[in-house]
Amino acid sequence: MKWRVRVLVRLKEGLNDPEGRVIGNALRNLGYKVEDLRVPKCFEFTLESERPEKEVEEMCKRLLANPLIHTWEYTIEPVK
């Protein structure tokens, strides 16, 4: 079966996000009232799998995220 997957990988709470800080500042400079800007990593793909949850969870642990510094979440939807 085919699935449409989106993974979001975020830095753990408490770890600072230098890139997010710079972009946040840039937006504030343009006059927007932006706070706590973060730049999670996002991956979108099609997956052929019989056990998509298990495989996506594995992918995150094995490659897409670094468990020492990241948390992750994902959405999995069947491809029509």
Residues that bind other proteins (CB under 8 A): 11-12, 14-19, 22-23, 26, 29-30, 41, 62-64, 66-69
Q: How far apart are CA 70 and CA 53, in angstroms?
A: 18
Q: How far apart are CA 49 and CA 36, in angstroms?
A: 36
Per-residue interface string for the shown chain with a second copy, residues 7-26, x marking contact by CB under 8 A: -x-----------x--xx-x
Q: Does 38 bind a second copy (CB under 8 A)?
A: yes
State which of residues 12, 21, 41, 54 lies at the interface with a second copy (CB under 8 A): 41
10 Å Cβ neighbour count for 75?
12
